[in-house]
Chains A and B, each alone.
Chain A
Amino acid sequence: MKELIEAIAKALVDNPDQVVVRAVEGEQITVLELRVHPSDLGKVIGKQGRTARSVRTILNAAGMKLKKRFTLEILE
Chain B
Amino acid sequence: MESAGAAKSGRPLESYLPSLESLLHEVLRHSGFELDFSIQKVPAPPTELESTEYVVEFSGRDADLLIEKNATLLNALEYVLLKAVRLEEEHFGRITFDCQDWRRLRAEELKLTAQIAAERVEETGDPFSLNPMNPRERRLIHLALKDRPEVRTVSEGVGAERKVVILPATPPRRR
Contacts and interface: CB of A to CB of B under 8 A. Distances in A.
B32 A62 contact: yes
A37 interface: no
Interface in A1-22: 1, 3-4, 7-8, 11-12, 14
A33 B79 CA distance: 22
Main secondary structure on chain A at its contact with chain B? helix
Contacts of B80: 8, 12, 51, 54-55, 58
A8 B80 CA distance: 8
Contacts of B33: 61-62, 65
Interface residues of B, number: 23
Greatest chain A CB density within 10 A among B1, B26, B76 is at B76
Contacts of B23: 7, 11
B32 A54 contact: no
Interface in B15-52: 23, 26-27, 30-33
A49 interface: yes
Interface residues of A, number: 23
B75 interface: yes
A57 B27 contact: no
A57 B160 contact: no
A48 B73 contact: no
16 contacts: A8-B80, A12-B80, A50-B160, A51-B80, A53-B160, A54-B76, A54-B80, A58-B31, A58-B80, A61-B73, A62-B30, A62-B31, A62-B32, A65-B31, A65-B62, A66-B32
